[in-house]
Amino acid sequence: MKRELTVIIERDEDGYFIGTVPELKGCHTQARSLDELMERMKEAASLCLEAEGEPEGELQFIGVQRIAV
């Protein structure tokens, strides 16, 4: 059964895209392009689900806010 997961994407100082799935503890990867990142994220998420099983309780993505400090 397919499951939809939220991927948070950031870019580091070297230009790499970093993807994280907040619903799955420790599920993250990086790549040079967004297309490559999404392929790697699918693989990483599958491996995390296989190793850890379905997470207890589900997080719901609400949004992103920026603040100035």
CATH number of 8-52: 3.40.190.290, 3.40.50.720, 1.25.40.10, 3.30.160.250? 3.30.160.250
In this model, does residue 4 exceed pLDDT 90?
A: no
Backbone phi and psi for residue 29, each to the nearest 5 degrees, phi listed first = -160, 175
Would you kindly state where each structural domain of the chain is located, as residue ranges?
Answer: 8-52
Residue 61 has what pLDDT? 81
Where does the pLDDT of residue 16 fall: very low under 50, low under 70, confident under 90, or very high at 90 and above?
A: very high
Residue reference for tokens 């992103």:
64
The residue type of 59 is L
- Reported as type and span, the H/E element at residue 44 is helix 34-52
pTM of the predicted structure, to 2 decimals: 0.80
Residue 1 pLDDT exceeds 80: no
- Residue range 17-66, pLDDT digits in tens: 999 999 898 999 999 999 999 999 999 999 999 997 776 677 788 888 88
